[in-house]
Amino acid sequence: MENLLSTMKMEVHDNLYLKEPFSSELGSSIVEEGATLIRDLGMEHFTFKKLALQIGVTEAAVYRYFENKHMLLLYLTAWYWAWMEVNYVYATANMESSKDRLSIAMKLMVNGPVFTKNTHIDPLDLRNIVVNESLKGYLTKTVDIEHESGIFAQVYNFGDRISKLIFEINPNYLYPKTLAYTIMESSLLHAFNAKHLPDMTEQSLDSENRLVFFEDLILKAISNE
């Protein structure tokens, strides 16, 4: 199964790019090297000029694929959530129990993807980018326009799967969507805080205990309704 997934290209909304990146060798390099530079430099210090120098092309060539670095970040974020959805689908195949499927979903959200190899983009690099940079892509003045354009579809697709699981487990719970997205966002924020702002969490809360914390949080919320 992992061999099959390792060559799979994620489909994301075409409003995220000007030209489909993986339609050419240059476009593939822009995405792959762009992800590496964003991971290493952070969005504040990443520029298309630096990316162009890295891959040996003109800056104008990069702009033929993406309108700006903000859209490249949103593209990578969308790719990550599409990859997470594929991970979820394959990891829960033939699972009947909603609680078992929710357990898999929680592991994905808290610890990252189960399948970590892909020939197009390194899923672990994407995880790093999403934890450290993705909120910078959402908390902007243009977010309403971007929402209307449909470019957050992959985030919504994964979150909706979680909310449907919550509803399956407890149809009387009033806020399945709110809870699902709260866990998605807070699990990423906590992963950031644990590394960079450790005074915001208990030192004992390693990845295993973070999973226990979030499972406890979601299951108690559902059972209390």
Arithmetic mean of pLDDT, 71-77: 98
pLDDT the model gives residue 202? 84
Other CB atoms within 10 A of residue 46 CB: 19
CB within 8 A of 73, min separation 6: which ones? 38, 43, 129, 133, 134, 136, 137
- pLDDT tens, residue by residue, 136-147: 999 999 999 999
Residue 225: pLDDT over 70: no
Here the tokens at position 106 are: 């929680």
Residue 180 and residue 110 in contact, taking contact as beta carbons nearer than 8 Å: no
pLDDT the model gives residue 205? 74
145 exposure class (CB count in 10 Å sphere: 0-12, 13-18, 19+): exposed
Arithmetic mean of pLDDT, 96-121: 93
Place 209 in a pLDDT band, splitting at 50, 70 and 90: confident
Residue 30 and residue 71 in contact, taking contact as beta carbons nearer than 8 Å: no
Q: Give dist(CA 165, CA 45) in Å, integer.
A: 40
